Amino acid sequence: MKLTESTRNEIGMPLVGFGTFQLSDDQAEYSVTEALKAGFRHIDSSEAYNNEEGTGRGIKAAGVSRDELFVTTKLFPAPVKNYSQTDKNYSQTIETLKNQLKQLQLDYVDLYLIHAPLSELRMEQWNAFVELKKLGLAKHIGVSNYNIATIKEILDAGLAKPEANQIEFHPISAQVELTRYMKENAIAPIAYSSLAPLSTWRVEEGQGGEVLAEIKKEGQQIIKEVATKLEVSEARGLLRWGLQHGYAVLTKSSKPERIRENLNLFDFEISDNDMERLNQLDQNQALAWAASGLDPMAAPPLK
């Protein structure tokens, strides 16, 4: 798949974005500023990250024109420990984005996502998303951690189609059927936790990177071999793998040199043979939420 640095996906999203998960407000402010100065133009945030004030300060400090930016944020839909205290209804969904915009110091976001289908009120929330787009508070609306069944709920109800679905996507969790379904329905795929197969992923205490570490070991050697052949870091190799599957990818770091390095994904290409070697690592095993014991795609019955 030939890519250029100016490539954006079908909703105008830059294919390489900067994520803010597990950053404090101060870390988010610093890292977002550095990312935008380095050339990133897509920032990915969430209500659940509890750092949108810092993210907003970082966006403002960078001084990049608003029309150059693509800002994504998410609604956390239901009560889950450490994430949300309420199962949000229609009006609460509307108010949540309005509050997030105040924290981000923005008039609108480019993409608003339901973080996961964890609420019995997810169809009510989706109706609110449709209204938020009509109000101009979100240019595009979508979902995250939705599987085929929960996407079909929306389509079968005759409602506006999600324009994007952000899911865990890397060689160990390749989401083959879901990826095919999104492509068939023109739903833009966005990858998170692209670096989960690495031993260096989420290594700080409390981040949960050690969970399921044993299933990653075999793949780590192949990932290293592919990266060595390309003379790139293993992180850049995994991000490039996602790009070549047609996904937008997210990266995160608080180190300026790493921030700049991970934006540079367009001057090399993984061969078909090595793409297949990485594809063969698929175990259909999600890693990102494993430490919490929560399956973000496990949807309760609708009310």
Distance between CA atoms of residues 143 and 81, nearest Å: 21
The pairing of strands 42-44 and 16-19 is parallel
**Residue from 49, 83, 146, 247 carrying the catalytic annotation:** 49
Which two tokens mark 262? 């991970």
Specify whether 49 is catalytic. yes
Which two tokens mark 240? 């490039």
Residue of 235, 114, 129 lying closest to 166 (CA atoms): 114
DSSP 193-261: -TTTTSTTTT-STTS-TTTTGGGGHHHHHHHHHHHHHHTS-HHHHHHHHHHHTT-EEEE--S-HHHHHH
**Number of other CB atoms surrounding residue 217 within 10 Å:** 10
Q: Write 90-97 long-range contacts (CB < 8 A, 24+).
A: 90/124, 90/125, 90/127, 90/128, 90/131, 91/128, 93/124, 93/125, 93/128, 93/129, 93/132, 94/128, 94/131, 94/132, 96/47, 97/73, 97/132, 97/137, 97/138
Residues in Cβ contact with 149 at an 8 Å cutoff, skipping those fewer than 6 apart? 299
> Among all residues, which ones are annotated catalytic?
49
